[in-house]
Structure 1
């Protein structure tokens, strides 16, 4: 396994940038669209759960699909039957002690007895079961050698973690030089791999582009919002930078150059960063809000299409003088086929849908948990079904 990983790292690290594909423009025929249905699923929240989270996952276990919804601040996961909309159980973890997970930075659930918890403070991945019992640990570095602030930090959610064979990949920072001013520490442009059978670390895998690494005018506010997904055959990693038009493709299993696929939105022109303008210098969030941007990149294995979420620019403050945030940016969803051709784009209503979503055989489900939704119910999760259809 280690030999395979070393070869993998060598292949990915040796990639160079190819010419941009200019044929994938918004001028292509819009063949498909996402259509909102009247079908909405509701999941009751308890006093420890919030209507938005960064840590959640859907998983088919023994032909039953579950929704795992975690508190953002404490290690607590609510488990729902996705179809019946009923709460099944809770999964709780200790933060400290011999059975502690050492901080809460997300999770990846493989099965009921294999839950991988990312330690935001202990720089480790903990293997636990549904009872919260710790079964194993993998430390990224020996935290006794240096200040923990300068060590790699695993931070991930289910969308940013994936399992290929017995190897779990998740997003992490690499600061092996122990220099906190290194761009790699903040960018999190690496994946870390562990063998789930032995809980041994297999090392970092670079996924960033050397032309982009450390360049905040492309990464976005505080170097966040980089997104990626696996291709349908798990041989390619599709990468979406926040303020960059292209989707970048890296190949896992053969020596091949990075491929760039132009993926523009119909609703704004090619992104041209404004970071060089003096009013944005050291005003990261203002720069992100007032630039068009991209965020989520999803693979719909049922319809064999990809979805890229595109966000229009807004002013930092609204007409009432109130500061706006990332969720206030109007969103559209670009649809790409298996060959990465744009085949449609759907504009969503403003201030209804939030950042949470999942895909089932029925279609794409979007959370109606936008904090400014006039019909927001903070005691229930609400997901509306969108069907992929041919445009009439």
Structure 2
């Protein structure tokens, strides 16, 4: 079987790596189509990348600024603070505009390589077009949140979505979709699309363990990781006072940064370490808590280690994830412009109250109970053989 994976932006690539590798290890041929900017993360994972689109054109669309300022959520009792409808709609339209810059190359490659099935990031609508062009099933793959491009019925058909298909002389994909979803139920918002549950397996790149991670801790002080993610500068402006607040609590701190972020650091106090481009899933195995910007990947990796989280979201999308974590009981959040002393107070509570870690461990148990990626390969095989996605997912098969 030939399987074409279609990725989205850099922060999304790690989400599709585990299933892509599980498919490859099952003996199938795998290609991962991505914009040029994302080729290196794919090849660094040992997979074959197919560059599609012109990076200048893709980047110009992807860089369009959206009204993502804080406070663009509905109240927390509505799907744990869902994005306002107009903002979600704007995000989907941007995804469609990005897809429009990629579909020519992607459809050309699909017609040449003839995959048996397409697995696309739910933000990568170009995958739907490529699958329709060669008449094979398309399966979505979420990036931790219930957002993406789909059309469940004729009433939902967007003109911009239809145009993606029409220029290739094909009908737009309309009808029930299925999304492979690694997000545990306790952090998942309601959504119309049918889900195929899959265990979340973190992937954040290779590493060589430094000496301090090859031995036991040299103190009984809590070790707290701070990160703003690898694709944002979300915490750059407030990082120093966050570090100072944690040190005042007596916690040791490790900063997970990009090389560019590390170059601009001031002198660090004793008890603070820095790691550059180090896999967060490896690092958090040694930590007691995570402070971060509200990135979905950062937060999910913390969940896999049963760690409580302090979130400092800087935009509405990050606030959305923060609301989900807070609603689950696995963490707490502060507004973007919280007073400096609020960080120390929140972290003291996070480390002292057992319920945060208990809820984080409960979410980890939900992850552990879901089907592993290799079992989803069988689902893809069945979809490819049937020519559609209306087959039982592993979880559905177990429930029969």
Name the structure where helix makes up a greater proportion of residues.
Answer: 2
Same fold (TM over 0.5): no
TM-score when normalising by structure 1: 0.25
